[in-house]
Amino acid sequence: MNSGNWQWNTFFEAFPVVVEGLGITLGLTVATYLFALIFGFVWTLLSAIRITPIRWLFRWIMEFIRSTPPLVQLFFIFYAWPMVPIVGFALDPFTSAIVGLGIHFSTYIGEVYRSGIEAVEKGQWEAAKALNFSTGQKWSKIILPQAIPPTIPMLGNYLIIMFKEIPLASTIGVAGILNLANSYGSANFRYLEPLTIVALLFLLLSYPSAILINKLERRMNRRFDKKEKSGSKPLKEEKEGAAS
């Protein structure tokens, strides 16, 4: 426990250098998240295709993307995509990170959408049919308004999970906080303080967000799950849940 190894002046010197990357890190998080939200919808559509072999093909592609490392996918987009004959073209590091990490997480987001849609009760679909709703009306007026809200906490969780995967982009040179900390470290031969700053920043940002999402989840559960059950017992459970 030799505290002499920790240098406060290095800490204060490195702090502004590292914090400068925060904008890039947060910007990349938001951009990647939006990409994944949109692309996730594509997966949901593709895996709902009625033609079985095609549906299976897309399900397997999703499984492939989901169970292989995002770091390798990132390298594929950044180093290999420009070399792919005919269709390949070069992307800058920031865009590569959006596409590489965005595609990886879109497969998860797609599953979230799917679970939300499948959770809408069968009776609702039947009712839409019975009332002679068109496909557009059915989705916009009945299915989606019920399918989307319960998935919001899950989507929020994925935002936090993605935020923590964003520093992978430092490996291809996106100048986020981890990248700047590493450059500071190699320039000054001091890794301890800058890396600790990075860890602190992540903790400071993700911990309060996680608490917020948790609260949101509890509120959603109250609105969407327990309302359907009548009687006094669920109400009591609800109170206990809120207090703990």
Buried-exposed string 23-33: b where 16+ CB fall within 10 A, e elsewhere = ebbeebbebbb
81 near another protein (CB under 8 A):
yes
> Quick one: tokens of 244?
């703990």
Q: Report the C-alpha gap between 157 and 159 in whole angstroms.
A: 5
Segment (H or E) for 84: none
Q: How far apart are the first and last CA of the chain?
A: 37
Other beta carbons within 10 Å of 241: 12
69 near another protein (CB under 8 A):
yes
User: Taking contact as CB under 8 A, which single stretch among the options 128-136, 137-145, 197-205, 222-230 is the one that binds another protein?
Assistant: 197-205
132 near another protein (CB under 8 A):
no
Instruction: Using alpha carbons, list the distances in angstroms from residue 19 to 6, 179, 203.
Output: 19, 11, 14
Nearer to another protein among residue 43 and residue 193 (C-beta): 193
182 near another protein (CB under 8 A):
yes
The binder of another protein chosen from 20, 68, 119, 121 (CB under 8 A):
68
The binder of another protein chosen from 72, 127, 212, 242 (CB under 8 A):
72
Q: Report the C-alpha gap between 170 and 186 in whole angstroms.
A: 14
56 near another protein (CB under 8 A):
no
The binder of another protein chosen from 88, 145, 149, 241 (CB under 8 A):
88
Least distance from another protein to the Cβ atom of residue 225, Å: 15
Query: What string marks each residue from 215 to 234 as x (binds another protein by CB under 8 A) or -?
Result: --------------------
Other beta carbons within 10 Å of 37: 19
Q: Report the C-alpha gap between 11 and 132 in whole angstroms.
A: 67
134 near another protein (CB under 8 A):
no
The binder of another protein chosen from 111, 165, 217, 238 (CB under 8 A):
165
12 near another protein (CB under 8 A):
no
67 near another protein (CB under 8 A):
yes
Rounded to 10 degrees, what is the CA torsion of 161, 162, 167, 173? 170
Q: What is the binding site for another protein (CB under 8 A)?
A: 1-2, 5-6, 63-64, 66-73, 75-76, 79-81, 83-84, 88, 164-168, 170-171, 178, 182, 185, 190-192, 195-196, 198-199, 202-203, 206-207, 210
